[in-house]
Amino acid sequence: MIIDPTNPIVDETSYQYWKDELINTRILLNNVDLAINALTVGNHASYQLDSGQTSQRVTRLDLDSLYKIREDLLSQIHDLEIKCGVNGHGVVIARPGW
């Protein structure tokens, strides 16, 4: 479920928006993992990485950049999980007691 960025109705303050972002980022991570797997385990010299919005051919020479993208996506997923309060991450609102 890739969000259409041209949709004027997108409300970046809503919980659903961040939940959709988390789903989209997990989908992208899965695609990157598939590409890394195909290039390292398989007997492939190249792989078509398709995010649903863009398509890119990657080769074994791109493995370093794929690992960097993977680390960035994992960091984004961690931040989004905190925003959404999933996987034990809770949202804490601290208010002064005075």
| Total number of domains in the chain | 1
Q: How far apart are CA 57 and CA 50, in angstroms?
A: 9
Question: Does the residue 3 lie in any domain?
Answer: no
Query: Does the pTM exceed 0.85?
Result: no
CB 84 within 8 A of CB 92: no
Task: Please choose, from the candidates 61, 29, 28, 69, the residue with its C-alpha nearest in 3D space to the C-alpha of residue 45.
Answer: 61
Instruction: Tell me which residue range forms the domain holding 19.
Output: 15-84
Per-residue pLDDT of the chain (98 residues; tens, 9 = 90+): 555 556 655 566 678 888 899 999 999 999 999 989 988 887 788 888 887 778 888 888 889 999 999 999 999 999 998 888 886 655 556 667 76
In a domain, 98, yes or no: no
